[in-house]
Amino acid sequence: MGISGSYGGLNLGDEAILQSIIAQLRTSVDIECTVFSRNAKDTTARNIAEHVVEVRNLTKVEITDHIRPLDLFILGGGGIFFDKEVDIFLRELEIAQQHDVASMVYAVGAGPLYNDNSRKRVKEILNDTDVITVRDREAKKIFEAIGVNNQIMVTADPAFLLMPEPLPENELKLIDAKGSRPLIGLSVREPGPAAPDIDPNFYHAVLANAADFVISRLDADVMFVPMERELYDTQHSHAVISKMLQPSHAWVAKGEYTPGQLLTLINQFTFTIGMRLHFLIFSALQGVPFVALPYAPKVSGLLDELHVPMPPLSCVDSGLVNAYIDKAWDNRLSIKIDIEKILPHLKQLTSENNRLAVDLLRGNRSESILLPERKVEQEN
């Protein structure tokens, strides 16, 4: 089995997806796994695959030698279908199809996808893919709108099946040394090709005000958690702190965590405020109440699934965000209970991704594999 996506240590959310996909497959079938990575050194160090290929340094001919022997090629999951990089991500999928390797697009997100050439290329290649699953309804709508007439199944993000791992002992001691004040976790998101409409000056001010609010309102400390340590999350976290009135009660997490360790770290928080999708998923998994700043449809989609109300980032100001924080804090126990009721369904949907992948590995490429919980929708 080969798997390609935004892997290579750039984002802990993506690494959580990779770890979860491979772990689920290994519980079901004996596989030999090749990861097509942006950073072979990082992926090799995570010790989750037999083979690692630093794919962006290879020509098409060189990549073909790694793809041709596969029984299954997986592209995903995560938000990898956006204009700037869609050609990069589709290259290995197209090669797999040219060599009659079973292919699956696995729990992906989509958008922004405005470029006509990108939309045409996605349509053509996805219509030749054996199985397509998406992690939210917005991605399905985008694919349908550009003309994908292949079957598209809505499942859920693979990270919902991630398991916690022990934190380094010194990390827990550092948290304990901060005292008995509630600890609030915060997550930022830098602007970029997958989030082109974010105004950092605006959201920095909103998050700084929110951090000051919880410090005063809850007598709390706040910890910023970079999900992309090697890029800009750390810098943007410090930029938010620089705008705070009470920065002495805020700091940025410095640990090098695995996804499972980050999941455990989030369990140390009483409450979280976040932008990044997987920071919010981890909060939900650990039963930590949260308020989100939905900068993209994928975040709004998660909030809809979890029945957590919040307007899009473009429709709020500091006062409204603080009002949602105040209300969520007062209702944190009921929020936790509600999320715990919903999680089993989302985990079941996530497991369907693995079932479909296993079917393909066993050679079931031509059979109808419509998800049972989606049959009623189509019949209706």
Total structural domains within the chain: 2
Note whether residue 370 is domain-resident.
no
Residues 94 and 173 in one domain: no
Residue that wins the pLDDT comparison between 257 and 157: 157
* Extended beta strands in the chain, E state: 2-4, 34-37, 51-54, 72-81, 102-110, 131-134, 152-154, 183-186, 221-224, 250-252, 271-274, 290-292
Identify whether the C-beta of residue 322 lies closer than 8 Å to the C-beta of residue 213: yes
Mean pLDDT of the chain: 91
Residues 110 and 147 in one domain: yes
Tell whether the model's pLDDT for residue 277 goes beyond 80.
Answer: yes
| pLDDT tens-digit map of 153-185 | 999 999 999 999 998 877 766 666 566 789 999
Note whether residue 350 is domain-resident.
no
Q: What is the CATH number of the domain that holds 291?
A: 3.40.50.2000
| pLDDT tens-digit map of 96-140 | 999 999 999 999 999 889 999 999 999 999 999 999 999 999 999
Tell whether the model's pLDDT for residue 377 goes beyond 70.
Answer: no
Mean pLDDT value of segment 238-249: 97
* Among the ranges given (9-18, 157-166, 223-232, 318-327), the one the predictor scored with the smallest mean pLDDT: 223-232
Q: What is the CATH number of the domain that holds 107?
A: 3.40.50.11720
Percent of the chain past pLDDT 90, that is, above it, reads 83
Residues 173 and 239 in one domain: yes
Residues 315 and 290 in one domain: yes
Tell whether the model's pLDDT for residue 5 goes beyond 70.
Answer: yes
pTM score, whole prediction: 0.93
Residues 208 and 330 in one domain: yes
Note whether residue 259 is domain-resident.
yes
> Which of 129, 154, 179 is a domain's end point?
154
Residues 173 and 108 in one domain: no
The domain in which residue 239 lies consists of 169-340
Closest CA to 130 of 354, 351, 363: 363
Note whether residue 212 is domain-resident.
yes
For the chain, give percent helix, strand, coil, nearest 5: 50, 15, 35
Residues 57 and 144 in one domain: yes
Whether residue 112 is preceded by a cis peptide bond, meaning omega within 30 degrees of 0, is yes
Mean pLDDT value of segment 25-43: 96
Residues 184 and 326 in one domain: yes
Residues 233 and 301 in one domain: yes
Residue type at position 69? P
Residues 259 and 304 in one domain: yes
Note whether residue 371 is domain-resident.
no
104 SS3 class: strand
Task: State the pLDDT confidence band at 197, using cuts at 50, 70 and 90.
Answer: confident
Mean pLDDT value of segment 336-364: 95
Residues 177 and 285 in one domain: yes
Residues 100 and 213 in one domain: no
Tell whether the model's pLDDT for residue 62 goes beyond 80.
Answer: yes
